[in-house]
Amino acid sequence: MRQNILGVPLDDFSLSDIADKIVRGHKVFQVFVNVHKVNLFHADPQLRDLASDEHCVFSADGIWILWSARRKRFFPKQRFGGLDVIEKLFSLAQERSYTIYLLGARKDVLDKAAQSLQTRFPKACIVGSRDGFFLNEEEIMRDIRDKKPNVLFIALPSPRKELFGYRIFKDVDSLNYVAGVGGAFDVLAGQSRRAPEWIQKIGLEWLHRCCSEPHRLFKQYFLDGLGLLRIIKEKGI
């Protein structure tokens, strides 16, 4: 089931639903919807084009998206994000021998994240990784094509992770699942901390992140909020 929330598509799939799709052989390109993504979606026609692909799944990440959905009497089964899908897919990789490729972040962060994941999921196979500081996208695509992963996690800024990730998704036949995972590699590498579970439950991860990195995130959250208010006013959403 799909609804239009704040001018962006939103699907009603839980994390378990996504895993079941992959096990059944379906291809999934995951897009996590938060306030920042809503602003980008309205500004970028290429991002909006993803909505026409049946393999693209749009899931609620930010609490504001979930609240907006409930206002329209739409109740997604679950709110989840990058760290959640990484843990779920690495667990599946252990059970079903899926292979995984990691793309993005600084090299030191990427290496620590990969080491952490390999320690926790020793039977999961990471077939390749590249940091996010590259200029030649074709070279990256060739490397991923050569490594033939089943799963790709991308930690690049939006909308690059969605647009470049979608190009890879369509180009690499071996891929069953692709997702942009934001700052998940930083958390896995111990560079930043995830909000405590009680803060996650009440939907204040954004405030926790802002307090942890005010110099980097306050301006972004402020501008995203202004942009959302403008969209609501102009579109009458």
Q: Which pLDDT score is estimated for 142?
A: 98
Q: Which pLDDT score is estimated for 200?
A: 54
Identify the band that residue 221 occupies on the pLDDT scale cut at 50, 70 and 90: low
pLDDT exceeds 80 at position 231 = no
Q: Which pLDDT score is estimated for 201?
A: 56
pLDDT exceeds 60 at position 202 = no
Q: Which pLDDT score is estimated for 106?
A: 96
Between residues 61 and 86, the one the model is more confident about: 86
Find, among 67, 9, 14, 15, the residue nearest to 38 by Cα.
Answer: 9
Task: Note the pTM of the prediction, 2 decimals.
Answer: 0.89
pLDDT exceeds 80 at position 187 = yes
Q: Which pLDDT score is estimated for 66?
A: 85
Between residues 59 and 236, the one the model is more confident about: 59
Mean pLDDT of 169-195: 90
Residue 24: how many CA atoms within 13 Å on its side-chain side?
8
Instruction: Name the strand (E) or helix (H) holding 168.
Output: helix 160-171
Q: Which pLDDT score is estimated for 144?
A: 98
Contact 122, 96 (CB under 8 A): no
Q: List the strands of the sheet with 125-130, edge to edge.
A: 56-60, 28-33, 177-180, 151-155, 99-104, 125-130
pLDDT exceeds 80 at position 121 = yes
Q: Which pLDDT score is estimated for 63?
A: 80
Q: Which pLDDT score is estimated for 146?
A: 98
Burial class (CB in 10 A: 0-12, 13-18, 19+), 99: middle
Largest pairwise CA distance in the chain: 51
pLDDT exceeds 70 at position 9 = yes
Q: Which pLDDT score is estimated for 211?
A: 57
Mean pLDDT of 39-46: 92
Least confident of 3-7, 83-87, 223-227: 223-227
Share of the chain above pLDDT 70, in %: 81
Task: State how far the Cα of 114 lies from the Cα of 106, in Å rounded to an integer.
Answer: 12
Q: 158-176: per-residue pLDDT in tens?
A: 999 999 999 999 999 999 9
- Show the tokens assigned to 203: 């939907």
